[in-house]
Each structure stands twice: as C-alpha cells, then as structure tokens.
Structure 1
Amino acid sequence: MSDQAASDSKEVVFDRLGHLVRSLHDTLREMGADAVLSEAAVEFPSARERLLHIGQLTERAANTVLTRVEECLPVQDRLIARAQALRDAPPSAEETTGFLAEVEQSCVITRAKLSDMMMAQDFQDLTGQLIKKVVTVLERTEQDLLRLLIDAAPPGTISEVKKEELMAGPGAPGSVALEQGDVDDLLADLGF
C-alpha cells in the first residue's frame, strides 16, 4: 500500500468516525439527552485523571518499598556476618554484649523500614475506590451506547441469548446481543 493510499485510508476512517460522533451527538441532543453528553464530557477527563493518579500512587509505593528493602539488606548482612564471626570463635562477654546491642539497633532500623513499607501500601484502599469509580463510568457509557444501538436497530437484527450461552464466555451484557453483520448493517443504514 502506498503512502498516499494509507493516508487516504486514514482520512476515510477519521471522516467516518467524525460522522459517527456527530450523528451520535445530534441523536442524543434530539432525544433530549444533552445532559448525558455534558456528564460524559466531564466524567471521561475525570476518569483519565483518576487512572493517572492511581499510576502515580502505585509508582510512589513501589519506589518506597524497593528503597526500604535496599536499605534493610546491608543492616541484615552486617548481622549475618557478625553472627557467623561469633559462632566461629567463642565470644567474650564484651563481644556478646556488643552483638546484642547491634542486634537491637538493627531490629529498630528494620522495624522502621518495614513500617514505612506497610504505610506505602495504604494507597491500595484509595486506588480500589478510584478504580471502581472509573469502571462505573465506563460501564454506564457502555450500557448507554449498547442501549442506543439496540433501540436504533432495525427489526429482526437483535437476537436473544440464552443464559447458558452467556456463561460460556464473553458476550453482550444482559440477554440481548447484536450480531456483527447486524451491527455493520445498522451502521450502514445510518450512513456509516
């Protein structure tokens, strides 16, 4: 395919997409659903911002955990080396007391780092709530678009789906599904 043909093909796709969006917008406005458009226009940027925020929280937590683990490893390595040295030669009372003091200090440091790691995970509750909100926005939009397609479908293009078929794998939510050929015909009837 030549560069010109590829460019023309992209223009056709974008032109068709533009017509589809304009048609959807006009149809919703004619049906009195301007509020749906306004709400969706507000919710989608909000959903995108929420997902970006989740990504930032997740990255921050991962960095905190990795940093704290890296800080704990040398503390633990020193304890291991000191314990091995004491095991290999009978320690004096002074060496044993020094080692116990080092163990205590190392435990305090390690405990603080573990606490930091635990606190870094507090984003989990917040991200779970944000993800649920984004999914709700997407589900509502999907349902609205599906309902619009079903309502605008020519008679005979919608088939009932048995519950067993729904349990067999992915499909349209609910008990109604459009076949791909019917969707193509519907879009063609609408001028797309």
Structure 2
Amino acid sequence: MDKLRLEQAKALVAALESNDEEEVERWMDELTTARESTLFLELGKLTRQFHDAMMSFALDNRVIELTEKDIPDAKERLNYVISMTEQAAETTLNAIDEIMPVTDAMAVGVEDLAARWEKFLHREMPFEEFKAMSKEISEHFASSQTGLTLVQGKLNEVLMAQGFQDLTGQVIKRVIELVHDVEQNMVELIRISGKRFVPEAKAVQPEAEEHLAGAGPVVPGVDDRKGNTMASQDDVDDLLSSLGF
C-alpha cells in the first residue's frame, strides 16, 4: 500500500513539473480516494470492535444473570409445578377412595329396593313385608342424603385441586421463555466467539418474548424493550457485515 502511494506521489510530482493540469487533477483524485478508502476501512474496523465489545459486555451480564438468578429460579418453579401436581393427584385419589364405597352402597341399596318395589307393584308382597320395606326406604333416603352430601363435598375438593393447572401453566410458560432466552444467549456467545452456526438458530422473534421478571400482558414500551434492543443490535451487526467488517 505504501509503495503504491509512493508511485502515485511520484506521478503527481511529475505531472506538476510538466504543468499537466489534467494529470495533476487525476492523481489528486486517486490519492484522495485512496486516503478516504483507508480512513473508511479503519473506521469500519473500529466500529466493529466497539460493537462486538458492547455486545460481549451485555451478553456477559445477561449470562451472569441467567446463571445466578433465572436458572435457579426456574428450578424452584419446576419443583413448585411438581409439588402442586402431586398434591392435586393425591387429593383426587383420596376423594375417589372415599366416594367409591358410598356410591357402591347406594347402588346396592337402590337395586334391592327396586326389585322389591316391582314385587309390591305386582301385588306380590305381604303387608308385613311392605311395612319393613317402607322403613328401609326411609332409611335409604336418609343415608343417600348423607352420602350425596359427602360426594358433593369431595367433588368440590377435586375441582379445587384442578385449579393448580392455571398457576402451573403460567409457571411452565415462563420456564419455556427462560429456556428460549438461554438458547439465544448461547447462540450469541457462539457468534461473538467467531464460530460458525446454522443461520436459522439465531432467528429471534422479539414480539414473542416477554420479560421473565415481569407479570401480566405485554405493555408497549415496557416489556418489549428487550426485543427492540435485540433487533437494533442485529441491525447494526448486519450493516457491519454487509460492509465487510
């Protein structure tokens, strides 16, 4: 490069000595263009170094946050899901264990009374047997009322136990988001370290992300700030890459 510039400078001096204004102007343009090209190249390199340094700094902080806070938090969240699921299953099974004997007894009682009632309708039942059946019917009504009250209570317990699904669904969704966040940071770490990877692996959908520490729906300008930042950083990186830096 220096040898080329020296030759260009000599040619410029020769043009000046010969008073060739056209050649002087041409060599001045070439020297100026070369200088501007070199300046542009150096500026591009500095911009790339600064951009990568900023990305590396942001990534380091995020990786530390994931390691020290988010991943342990995800473990606790999943343990919570397991605990709630076990409690709901235990409540449901216990309720069934208590309900089954009651419903079985009610079924046997109804079957026996139904057969004897048919006998009564066909006038095949003596009066004394009818009196005994009437007493049994009254007792059956009382026991059925008690049994149905128990069944209703246990079914309510089962229903309440299933309420865990809404909470655990939210927890699992957040853990999935965390896994996605970890994946993106690992891909970014590979990119910064200069490794080659499949382009599809670093595709980011900012609109699908929600900040892990937040709660409730996405709020424009708040929860989606991270996604916008990632998009702008990718734009800078793409621009530098397109310029060859």
Deviating beyond 6 angstroms after TM superposition, the runs of 4 or more aligned structure 1 residues are 27-30
Q: Which runs of 5+ in 1 are unaligned?
A: 1-26, 162-171, 176-192
Residues 63 and 185 of structure 2 are in contact (CA less than 8 Å); yes or no, is this contact kept in structure 1? Answer: no
SS in 1 for 2:177: helix
Aligned to 2:185: 144
Show the counterpart of 1:122: 163
The answer to whether the Cα contact below 8 Å between 2:187 and 2:202 also exists between their aligned partners in 1 is no
* 2:146 pairs with one of 72, 87, 105: 105
1:35 aligns with 2:76: no
Q: Residues 105 and 159 (structure 1 numbering): CA distance in 2 closer, same or farther, change over 3 Å? A: closer
Alignment match, 1:52: 79
Pairwise CA distance, 1:36 = 1.2
- Find 1:84's aligned residue among 98, 111, 114: 111
Q: Shift of residue 174 of structure 1?
A: 2.8
What is the percent sequence identity of the aligned residues? 29
Superimposed CA distance per residue, residues 153-176 of structure 1 (whole angstroms, 9 cap, x where no aligned partner): 45xx45656xxxxxxxxxx3639x
3-state SS, counterpart of residue 57 of structure 2: coil
Q: Distance in 1 between matches of 2:202 and 2:137?
A: 69
Contact 2:188 2:202 in 1 (8 A): no
Structure 2: gaps spanning 5 or more residues: 1-51, 118-129, 205-245
What's the offset of the Cα at 1:114? 0.2
CA–CA distance in structure 2, aligned partners of residues 38 and 174 of structure 1? 22
Cα 1:80–1:173 change in 2 (3 A) is farther
Matching of residues 20-31 of structure 1 within 5 Å: 31=56
2:203 is matched with: 174
Query: CA separation in 2, counterparts of 1:57 and 1:148?
Result: 36
The whole-number CA distance in structure 1 between the counterparts of 2:56 and 2:109 is 78
Q: How does 1:153-172 map to 2 (within 5 A)?
A: 153=194, 157=196, 172=201
Provide the rounded CA distance (Å) in 1 between the counterparts of 2:182 and 2:53.
13
**Judging changes above 3 Å, is the alpha-carbon distance between structure 1 residues 30 and 103 closer, same or farther for their aligned structure 2 residues?**
closer
Give RMSD over aligned pairs. Answer: 2.6
Equivalent residues, number: 137
**What's the CA shift string for 1:34-69, capped at 9, x where partnerless?**
421331121111101110111011001100000000
Instruction: Give the drift of 1:132.
Output: 1.2
Secondary structure at the residue paired with 1:32?
helix
Letter in 2 for 1:116: E
Q: With structure 1 as the length reference, what TM-score do the two structures score?
A: 0.63
Residue matched to 2:225: none
Write the distance in 2 (CA, Å) between the matches of 1:94 and 1:38: 76
Greater Cα radius of gyration, structure 1 or 2: 2
Could you say if the C-alpha distance between residues 103 and 145 of structure 1 is closer, same or farther in structure 2, counting changes exceeding 3 Å?
A: same
- C-alpha distance in 1, partners of 2:90/2:53? 46
Distance 1:160 1:146, change over 3 A: closer
Q: Distance in 2 between matches of 1:85 and 1:173?
A: 71
